[in-house]
A and B are shown apart, each in its own frame.
Chain A
Amino acid sequence: GQSLEQPSEVTAVEGAIVQINCTYQTSGFYGLSWYQQHDGGAPTFLSYNGLDGLEETGRFSSFLSRSDSYGYLLLQELQMKDSASYFCAANYGGATNKLIFGTGTLLAVQP
């Protein structure tokens, strides 16, 4: 079946840069999204990569390599408020946006 793999936990300090990797299965793949979820909250959309390359949105960037079935989320200038779970999600439905989520990476930002 369709599944995604990402690390379960990452720890970093304020001001640092952290990269969260995600690998996915290629069959029926359209693109890769990233979502942030704070404890007790709802997931919120961060970014989407439909094509190879880097997408930048402020302190957050996301990268996709279709040939490697791999993507990552890059968080720069880490702040305490960035402590949250981050999920990659593969679009296997095209315009219908059917997503399969990874199991999530818990990011802990330390002072």
Chain B
Amino acid sequence: DAEITQSPRHKITETGRQVTLACHQTWNHNNMFWYRQDLGHGLRLIHYSYGVQDTNKGEVSDGYSVSRSNTEDLPLTLESAASSQTSVYFCASSEAGRDEQFFGPGTRLTVL
């Protein structure tokens, strides 16, 4: 069955370190998205991609980057982790022209 996976599921890191969160989907969806979820803020869009080599900034993109070298993967990189980036991160994908986004299980990131 097609699915969307994220790894790691939990990560603890130190301030200033570079961290990469993986997202992999097997639906062959063109659209992929990264969100962070914090209490009181709901889901906020970090970056998104509409296809290979396409990336766009979302609402809260500062300190994050993404790259899209193939259809299946959209890794999220925190260039220099900060305590303010402690959060739960969700990756999602959708088929172009369709309304539903499919979410991965999430990665809980703690920056100490």
Q: Mark A residues whose CB is within 8 Å of B.
A: 1, 31, 33, 41-45, 48, 50, 87, 89, 91, 95-104
Contact = CB atoms under 8 A, between A and B. Distances in A.
Contacts of B90: 42-43
A43 B99 contact: no
Interface in B16-52: 31, 33, 35, 40-45, 48, 50
Interface of B: 31, 33, 35, 40-45, 48, 50, 59, 90, 92, 94, 96-106
B45 A95 contact: no
Given A42-B104, A42-B105, A43-B103, A98 B45 contact: yes
Given A99-B45, A103-B41, A103-B42, A45 B96 contact: no
Given A45-B101, A101-B44, 10 more contacts: A33-B100, A33-B101, A42-B103, A87-B42, A89-B43, A96-B96, A97-B96, A97-B99, A98-B33, A100-B45
Nearest to B106: A42
Contacts of A87: 42-43
B99 A91 contact: yes
Contacts of B42: 87, 101-104
Find the residue from B40, B48, B92, B99 having the highest chain A CB count within 10 A.
B99
Find the residue from B50, B59, B100 having the highest chain A CB count within 10 A.
B100
A103 B100 contact: no
16 contacts: A1-B59, A33-B100, A41-B105, A42-B103, A42-B104, A43-B43, A43-B103, A87-B42, A95-B97, A96-B31, A96-B50, A96-B96, A97-B94, A99-B101, A101-B42, A104-B42
Contacts of B45: 98-101
Contacts of A31: 99
Contacts of A97: 31, 94, 96-99, 101
